[in-house]
Chains A and B, each alone.
Chain A
Amino acid sequence: MDLSNFLLMRHEVLLLVIILLLIIAEVFLSQSKKSSIVHLAIFLFGIHTIIGFLSIDYGSLFGGMFHTNALIQFFKNILNLGVFILLLQSGDWLQEKIVEQYRGTEFFVLLFSSLLGMYFMISAGDFLMFYLGLELSTLPVAALAALETTKRISSEAGIKLILSAALASGTSLFGISMLYATSGSIYFNDIIEVITLSNLTILGFILFFAGLAFKISLVPFHFWTADVYEGAPISIASYLSVISKGAAIFILMILLFAVAKPLMPVWENMVYGIAILTMFIGNLFALRQQNMKRFLAFSSIAQAGFILLGLIIGNQLGTATIVYFVLIYIFSNLAAFGVVQAISLQTGKENMKDYEGLYRTNPNVSLVMMLALFSLAGIPPVAGFFGKFFLFTAAASEGYYLLVFIAVVNVTISLYYYLLVVRAMFLRKSDNAIPHFKSKIYMRLGLLITAIGILVLGIYSPLYEYIYELSKTLY
């Protein structure tokens, strides 16, 4: 093995270098210039994102522990793009609130470590690497959730997240050990060959599934979601709901489609049930939420339920539609969280009632929010519609018409609460509406990118065709 093989790990190595650079910069920056760490980090990560798109070889490393292919690289790029937008949207918040408390570098180091964990998780070729990645991606987020130490609710979110996450990864590990017991290996390639339908395998698989379902916040493993989202800083809630969820869905998809293919009769039914539960619980709980972060938390639970419609069919079409949907979902949800962030940063208000009359004072953010909500609700011609339509098409291709029917009923329910926000912003008039404000350049750039993404990603069909081509080789 020569050193150039490490180029396969380009994403990981680069990100690690960025983390180290930031730590070094922290040491050499004088107190008065601490806020420039934000510019530096965003700049470095921007370059990292761009380099990620350059073409590269694919293959395995460390005897199959680490593994990449075109689809995995592409998905890492999607994650990069998401994190980059997220950094833009939180740049102002970091400069105004966090850097003052001398925690700017911590934020970036923790966030990038978590992202690094996700890289390893989705590139995993065996369960050991997978587990390490899972832990590395979760633990820093718990620290990030508790970043706003001046707020009690933030610490509460951190504790809640770490306790639930520990339990979930413990469960997962227990499941993995059972799979190891039946198959005699932790390498995915070996397991594919020997896995059969035995009771112990199924039990192990279910426990393992539960651990990942926690990260995706599928019902009934969703209880932490709303509380953590509400307590954590908005950037972190946003990160949890898009990046963390997206990565977990991707690795779950790889494991179900490639590794646990022989168990399909089992997980098909499981996914079917969980999809229905997740959609209904997420949507019904979202109906009455007043706090925008809790609102988006339940909406993101419901969105995860829709993704399961692509998961259930277990083939190339499923892979393509899921990756496509996740990409669009990242843009839509980031736009929604971005607006919440912008308003919260200016006024500290986070409730739906505070949004009344927003359009008349702040038309631009209201329009971005409306685009995001329409995209989440799946209304054409914005991107969310295409994502959802293709997921439903995927599910229908295997004859799951009843499930599609239940899903479209849920789309209608979800439309109700998305329209509630539109109603507050556009229909209502309010005397104490949020006064006109102007966000700084980072935030505006972040919202602009997401808005363009929402408008373009759906209509621009070559993107989907490209993802479909990549999906040929899942693992």
Chain B
Amino acid sequence: MDILSLFIIVPLLTIAVLVFTKSLKQARVVSMIGSFIQLGMAINLVFAYLKERAINQDIMVFTRDLVWFEQFNIHYSVGVDGISVALLLLTSIVVLAGVFISWKMYDLPKEFFISLIVLSIGVYGFFITIDLFTMFVFFEIAVIPMYLLIGIWGSGPKEYSAMKLTLMLMGASAVLLVGILGIYYNSDADGGVLTFNILEIAKVNIPFEAQKLFFPLTFIGFAVISALFPFHTWSPDGHASAPTAVSMLHAGVLMKLGGYGVFRVAMYLLPEGAMDWSWVFILLSVIGVVYGAFSAIKQTDLKYINAYSSVSHLGLVLFALLMLNKTAWNGAIIQSLSHGFMTALFFALIGMIYERTHTRDIRKLGGLLKVIPFISVIYVIAGLASLGLPGFSGFVAEMNIFVGAFQNDDIFIRVATILSVSVIVITAVYILRVVGIMLMGPIRNDSYLKLERVTWFEKSGILLLLIPIVGIGVAPLWLSDMILESLQPFIQGLL
């Protein structure tokens, strides 16, 4: 058994055990143990990767290849590079934090944790596979549990939000399917055999006409889940209606599938198409960055503020990916990680505040710093990280992105970059606004004086997410090195 397939097998075993659990207590303990093992495996993978990288110069390491459908040349084929290792670590941390945050899931607990872990299987599988078909399978496995998770355990207009989210994401994956088939049928352009293997396809010169046709399909197919501008509407509704842990997983991890897919499939396999189309998507992503930030200013619901801020931050990821140079790409991936931890932390905190005060409307909240100091202080820290304060992960990411973006001397990209940079200010506005209204100021409601203190499982969830935010901010180099190394083949694809 290779160490990557374990990322699929351990959650499967966890589910198999969960099926037999009888109560919330059993279900959460089983999920916690399963997620702990996953986290251990992810940390182990980082060290194993660094060790392996020193002696192995392949693009992907720990590869394993099993033929699945021989006639279509579909393989179960896994392998990782620095980018996927980092994202796997992100996933395992957020999943474990999500389990902690769902400690008191009284309604249908078993089903909740099973759905959550099915979702995580999709994500893990997506990050480890290097076969387009398998990747697509895992992509859909990650999306569909969202329908049940939001629909059953959500709040507010949950049926509407769940349906909207599922249809938009599945619609996107339908578009993606056409793109993948297009890539597949052009993978024999150099006289080889048809294949779904990403590394094999990357060696092939797919004809320019085909690249031009299939790049936008593949790009949009993946980017919808990263909330690309006109297709972002599922995200605020979905996040607002979802239960806390699901918002965390969704914003923290699931939305990263988009950026990763865009990078690994659309841009890596169709580089000429990427260059040809980049201006359209740069335009859309910059609109997303600016629009998301401005929308966040207007919102009064905490979850909507965060959802729009995610639109803005992930717009920045797509923007950076389209800059087509190593520094910006490095920034994009660190931004993915940093945003993953930050948003998950934000949603966890919002969930705790909501659980205590029963409202997410910032106009009704006030002075929380005095009554629930732990949560409030962490909220401030997360906010500062989100607006890119040096010392936190957000700074490292944005710094890289903008330095990379300025390396392009094209006037259009310059303007786009300046616009995105200026959004940092707007980010500060909406974050400080929330901090000012909600945490400072007078206590608006006497019942807030008796709010419950933070419990140990909530603290564990928060600390799990906070450590990497500070860690990346203080010592970004090991991560940068790991990512930069893995970016080499992508650069070669462009030349």
Chain B neighbourhood of A427, CB < 8 A: 148, 151-152, 158-159, 162
Interface residues of B in 122-147 (CB under 8 A from A): 133, 136-137, 140-141, 144, 147
Give bound CA distance, A81 to B162, whole Å: 37
Give bound CA distance, A379 to B177, whole Å: 13
Interface residues of A in 262-303 (CB under 8 A from B): none
B144 touching A374, Cβ below 8 Å: yes
Does A435 have its Cβ within 8 Å of any Cβ on chain B? no
Give bound CA distance, A405 to B141, whole Å: 21
Name the residue of chain B whose CB is nearest to the CB of A363.
Answer: B111
Proximity bits, A310-326, B CB within 8 Å = 1, else 0: 00000000001000000
- In the complex, which range does the number of interface residues on chain B fall in? 20 to 34
A465 touching B71, Cβ below 8 Å: yes
Does A397 have its Cβ within 8 Å of any Cβ on chain B? yes
Give bound CA distance, A396 to B185, whole Å: 8
Does A51 have its Cβ within 8 Å of any Cβ on chain B? no
Does A220 have its Cβ within 8 Å of any Cβ on chain B? no
Give bound CA distance, A390 to B182, whole Å: 14
B72 touching A401, Cβ below 8 Å: no
Which label, helix, strand, loop or mixed, suits the secondary structure of the A interface?
Answer: helix
Interface residues of A in 410-430 (CB under 8 A from B): 411-412, 415-416, 419, 422-423, 426-427
Q: Can you spell out 29 A-B residue pairs with CB atoms less than 8 angstroms apart? A: A320-B71, A374-B144, A380-B137, A380-B140, A381-B137, A389-B133, A396-B184, A396-B185, A397-B185, A401-B178, A401-B181, A404-B177, A408-B177, A412-B170, A412-B171, A412-B174, A415-B166, A416-B167, A419-B163, A419-B166, A422-B147, A422-B148, A426-B148, A426-B151, A426-B152, A427-B148, A427-B151, A427-B158, A465-B70
Closest 5 pairs between A and B when the two form their complex, measured CB to CB: A408-B174, A427-B151, A396-B181, A412-B171, A380-B137
Chain A neighbourhood of B152, CB < 8 A: 426-427
B147 touching A465, Cβ below 8 Å: no
Name the residue of chain A whose CB is nearest to the CB of B139.
Answer: A380
Give bound CA distance, A461 to B76, whole Å: 11
Give bound CA distance, A389 to B182, whole Å: 13
Give bound CA distance, A397 to B184, whole Å: 9
B174 touching A409, Cβ below 8 Å: yes
Min CB distance, B82 to chain A, in Å?
28
Min CB distance, A451 to chain B, in Å?
14
Chain B neighbourhood of A399, CB < 8 A: 185
Does B374 have its Cβ within 8 Å of any Cβ on chain A? no
Q: How many residues of A contact B (CB 8 A)?
A: 31
Give bound CA distance, A408 to B72, whole Å: 20
Min CB distance, A310 to chain B, in Å?
14
Which chain A residues have a beta carbon within 8 Å of chain B's beta carbons? 320, 374, 379-381, 385, 389-390, 392-393, 396-397, 399, 401, 404-405, 408-409, 411-412, 415-416, 419, 422-423, 426-427, 461, 464-465, 468
Give bound CA distance, A320 to B147, whole Å: 33
Min CB distance, A324 to chain B, in Å?
11
Min CB distance, B186 to chain A, in Å?
11
Given contacts A408-B177, A427-B162, A464-B71, 13 further A-B contacts (CB under 8 A): A385-B140, A396-B178, A397-B185, A399-B185, A401-B178, A401-B181, A404-B178, A411-B170, A419-B166, A422-B147, A427-B158, A465-B70, A465-B71
B70 touching A385, Cβ below 8 Å: no
Given A419-B163, A427-B152, A427-B162, A464 contacting B171 (CB threshold 8 A): no
Partner among B70, B72, B159, B170 whose Cβ is within 8 Å of the Cβ of A423: B159
Chain B neighbourhood of A422, CB < 8 A: 147-148
Chain B neighbourhood of A468, CB < 8 A: 71
Chain A neighbourhood of B171, CB < 8 A: 409, 412
Does B175 have its Cβ within 8 Å of any Cβ on chain A? yes
Give bound CA distance, A380 to B143, whole Å: 10
A412 touching B137, Cβ below 8 Å: no
Does B68 have its Cβ within 8 Å of any Cβ on chain A? yes
A390 touching B72, Cβ below 8 Å: yes
Name the residue of chain B whose CB is nearest to the CB of A467.
Answer: B71
Give bound CA distance, A399 to B209, whole Å: 14
